[in-house]
Copies of this chain bind each other. A is one copy, B any other.
Amino acid sequence: MVRTARFTEDDFIEATMALVAEGGPAAATMQAIARQVGAPTGSIYHRFESRAAVLGAAWNAAYASFVGALAPLLHSGRPREAALAILPWSRENARRARFLLLNEPVTLFEDTPPPAPLRQALERLEDEFDAAFRACVGACGEGDLREEALARAKFLIFDAPIAILRPHLMKGGTLPPFAERMIAELHAGMPLA
């Protein structure tokens, strides 16, 4: 080792999340990221091979944090708790929540996909999340029936809570307490199986 780095990989990742959370994917230009960190654009390319790599790394970091919060609850068979866990996670990770939950990877990476290692890492995370859902659903049904049960679980635990949160994540204020109630009520009225 020789010269100490002024800017870490994480500095750029955090700046990217902040910019996307604030102004959408297009706001995260390499120059905007550099400006946010206080670095020249060239420095980013010492850590990331391309813009797609920065976005991909940021996405994977946010997604890993999210999956890390939910997967254990799914594996221990507590779908309701998993759904409700999205709220504290979003409150504690406001920037990540806006970045992760208000963007689709397909639009984030629409121009150029991230390099292969990042794509594979993301695929592993998605598989991990999927496996957690399957473990939670258990061995209920076969074939199409099983797929329906899985779609049901993903809706109840992931998509529906996020749909409840989305308007408030957009506005940017604090998440209202009745969000909790709505999720609980949803799970009371429409059980997993």
Determine the residue in chain B with the shortest Cβ distance to A191: B189
User: With contacts A26-B111, A170-B106 known, is A186 near B182, CB below 8 A?
Assistant: no
Could you tell me if B155 and A182 are in contact, using CB atoms closer than 8 angstroms? yes
A163: which of B160, B167, B178 is its contact (CB, 8 Å)?
Answer: B160
Could you tell me if B182 and A167 are in contact, using CB atoms closer than 8 angstroms? no
Report how far A106 CA is from B166 CA in the complex, Å. 13
Of residues A102, A160, A162, A166, which shows the largest number of chain B Cβ atoms within 10 Å of its Cβ? A160
* A160 → B minimal CB distance (Å): 6
User: With contacts A162-B163, A163-B155 known, is A178 near B107, CB below 8 A?
Assistant: no
Determine the residue in chain B with the shortest Cβ distance to A186: B190
Of A8-16, A127-135, A146-154, the one touching chain B: A146-154
Report how far A164 CA is from B163 CA in the complex, Å. 10
Report how far A155 CA is from B182 CA in the complex, Å. 10
A27: which of B110, B162, B170, B178 is its contact (CB, 8 Å)?
Answer: B110
Report how far A163 CA is from B24 CA in the complex, Å. 21
Report how far A188 CA is from B25 CA in the complex, Å. 38
- B residues in contact with A155, CB < 8 Å: 163-164, 182
User: Is A126 engaged at the interface, CB distance under 8 Å to the other chain?
Assistant: no
**Which residues 178-193 of A sit at the B interface, judged by CB distance below 8 A?**
178, 182, 185-186, 188-190
A110: which of B26, B152, B159, B188 is its contact (CB, 8 Å)?
Answer: B26
22 CB-based A-B contacts, threshold 8 Å: A24-B110, A25-B107, A26-B107, A26-B111, A103-B107, A106-B170, A107-B107, A148-B176, A151-B167, A151-B182, A152-B182, A155-B164, A155-B182, A159-B164, A159-B166, A160-B160, A163-B163, A185-B190, A186-B189, A186-B190, A188-B189, A190-B190
